[in-house]
Amino acid sequence: FLEGVLADPVFQAGEATTSFIDERPELLHARTPADRGTKLLTYLADVTVNQPNGPATTHLRPRTKLPELDLAQPVPPGTRDLLQRVGPAEFARQLRERTDVPVTDTTFRDAHQSLLATRMRTRDLLAVAGHVSRLTPQLLSVEAWGGATYDVALRFLSEDPWERLSLLREAMPNIPIQMLLRGRNTVGYTPYPTRVTDAFVTEAARSGLDIFRIFDSLNDVSQMRPAVEAVLATDTAVAEVALCYTGNLSDPGERLYTLDYYLRLAEEIVDTGAHVLAIKDMAGLLRAPAARTLVTALRERFDLPVHLHTHDTAGGQIGTLLAAIDAGVDAVDAACSAMAGTTSQPSLSALVAATDGTERPTGLDIDNVFALEPYWEAVRQVYAPFESGLPSPTGRVYFHEIPGGQLSNLRQQAIALGLGDRFEDIEDMYAAANRILGNLVKVTPSSKVVGDLALALVGAGADPADFEQNPTKYDIPDSVIGFLEGELGDPPGGWPEPFRSKALEGRTGKPRVTDLTSEQEAALESSPRETLNELLFPGPTKDFLAARDRHGDLSVLGTVEFLHGLEQGREYEVEIEAGKRLLLAVTSVGDADAKGMRTVMCTLNGQFRPITVRDES
């Protein structure tokens, strides 16, 4: 503040009067440390009073668990060096030729999406990124972006997802960063215009994204084509295109999701010009014998490398990975063991241990893989409030087919609706909703459609057979109507008739993908990141910008403080930028007044700062 005053030409000319400050309110809002301190305190006082995540159950400092490494040393060469040297087409060709089995580490994205409601903050990813790049540079990639991370960053973490990408890129220059892209739905739940997909892919690649795993929630290749074309147009990034796996192809009674179905789908995918073919087993339904059959057939039929992704929901997926490796799969996904298992990916250390000394090792050093586990174990404890509550594997997934990321989410939603002790009813209804909607591939957003219908039917106490006969008697969620109107594309088994026509009776299908205005087009050119945030998630982006304005950059706060606030009477030191530290404390919380406001006595570098907070209870 003082610097601003002293630099002001009027002040320097000696002409400042008592109205000087009144006329220059911006000086008071300058980003001085004291101002930033007050903003942080405003946030902390609120969280301390309202405890949105309950009380802290740990004060572990995960960073103390990191192996000691000299991060000033340059990173060793890694897989990304090869990608940059030879380009995506040759990179993919070489992947197919390799005898070892390179691994994608999903800990930075899918693992926490599937275990901890995607709540991992950039700060906790960044703290270990330099270690990952030094200890496991042989990884094919680190999946670190996309899926639900974009939405959750804006909605719950007060973070800009693009900042995460840039920071991770800088911290991990030698390993490809991979993302999950939902075809025309990009990182959202409904389709966006092609222009948005193009801008999204271009900006992500420009920000250092190397491998785009693209899928469509109905396996409708036409819905993926714009994204694939945008990735191919970058010339630098790999287009990995996924077939989403469901059902059981080894079952002689399977009529829809047969080997033949997957081979026809793969042919369409190969025709898009994809560099890599992925098998995306989002629910963990791919049994070992089916993996052997599918991988063998895909590799016999096509020249592309095959990359296998699965979830360990029923507990047997290390067996599936080994069967796939035996059948020649070119790459697989796993997560750090502290973040593996159940709805997440199989354990990386188990995979390394099972393949070391064989003809097809992962190339990773097992000691280095172990070395990162204590850190993730501690981080996971910090995020305990977001654990899904699935304590062990469940074989019921073979029946309800709920994807890993959704299974954890749905359990939380059920609890919020007071249906927590009736989760089996929701599983049963999910299976019934899937059947009514035509036996779908279930993955975001088609899985959300099925889940929304299941929750609505359980909530209404509906008999699924009656709903199927008389859908107009019931409130039908918007996502279900959108799906039935064809918003997400065409389902593999065709439309469920006469249910669909009955459910849509009297509705006028409104076009949902609207073209961009010329202002939006121009904004995408001039400020792509901000504009993409606004186009993809208008509400959360508005809230995020308002929160940034009010609280400043919350990434400086430790996660325990971010989630739970401050322990009363204990001073908390925060580094707001290199070398600039503040001491923050909450000393006492006053009673709520008639309007529900409490005065929280705080200190900033030892000076009293009363902060008024609304008690939300």
Chain contacts with Zn ion (rule: CB under 5 A): 110, 282
Q: Which does 148 bind (CB under 5 to 8 A by kind): ligand 3PY, Zn ion, none?
A: ligand 3PY
Q: Smallest distance from the beta carbon of 283 to ligand 3PY, in angstroms?
A: 9
> Judged by CB under 6 A, does residue 282 bind ligand 3PY?
yes
Residue of 92, 115, 171, 180 that binds ligand 3PY (CB under 6 A): 180
Q: Which of 208, 405, 491, 496 binds ligand 3PY (CB under 6 A)?
A: 405
CB 103 within 8 A of CB 139: yes
In Å, the largest CA–CA distance within the chain is 91
By CB under 6 A, tell whether 182 contacts ligand 3PY: yes
Looking at the Cβ atoms of 148 and 269, the one nearer to ligand 3PY is 148
The first and second tokens of residue 435, run together, are 């059947």
Choose between 113 and 531: whose C-beta lies nearer to ligand 3PY.
113
Please state, in angstroms and as integers, the Cα–Cα distance from residue 47 to each residue in 120, 554, 583, following that order.
18, 12, 17
Residue 438, binding choice from Zn ion, ligand 3PY, none, Cβ under 5 to 8 Å by partner class: none
Are 444 and 482 in contact by the 8 Å Cβ rule? The answer is: no
Regarding 482 and contact with ligand 3PY (CB under 6 A), the answer is: no
Q: Are 228 and 247 in contact (CB under 8 A)?
A: no
CB nearer to ligand 3PY: give 153 or 443.
443
- Whichever of 110 and 534 has its CB closer to Zn ion, that residue is 110
The residue (of 188 and 316) whose beta carbon lies closer to ligand 3PY is 188
Site for ligand 3PY in 113-172 (CB under 6 A): 113, 147-148
Q: What is the DSSP letter of 250?
A: T
183 binds ligand 3PY per the rule CB under 6 A: no
Is 403 near ligand 3PY (CB under 6 A)?
Answer: yes
Of residues 20 and 398, the one with the C-beta less far from Zn ion: 398
DSSP track, 253-312: T-SSS-HHHHHHHHHHHHHTT-SEEEEEETTS---HHHHHHHHHHHHHH--S-EEEEE--
Cβ pair 186, 219 in contact under 8 A: no
* 385 token code pair: 């409030």
Cα–Cα distances in Å, from 303 out to 220, 228, 596? Answer: 22, 18, 66
Residue with CB nearest ligand 3PY?
A: 147
Size of the site for ligand 3PY (CB under 6 A): 11
Q: Smaller CB distance to ligand 3PY: residue 174 or 444?
A: 444
Minimum gap (Å) between residue 202 Cβ and Zn ion: 25
Amino acid at 591: D
Nearer to ligand 3PY, 361 or 403 (CB): 403
Residue among 133 and 342 whose Cβ is closer to ligand 3PY = 342
Residue 62 in the binding site for ligand 3PY (CB under 6 A): no
182 binds, among Zn ion, ligand 3PY, none (CB under 5 to 8 A by kind): ligand 3PY
Cα separation, 556 vs 158, whole angstroms: 12
Footprint on residues 435-464 left by ligand 3PY (CB under 6 A): 443-444
Residue 605: Cβ within 10 Å count:
14
Q: Does 558 bind ligand 3PY (CB under 6 A)?
A: no
**Between the CA of residue 42 and those of 121, 427, 455, 547, what are the distances in Å?**
20, 42, 37, 11
3-state secondary structure 141-194: EEEEEECCHHHHHHHHHCCCHHHHHHHHHHHCCCCCEEEEECHHHCCCCCCCCH
**Min dist. Cβ of residue 292 to ligand 3PY (A):** 23
Binding site for ligand 3PY (CB under 6 A): 110, 113, 147-148, 180, 182, 282, 403, 405, 443-444
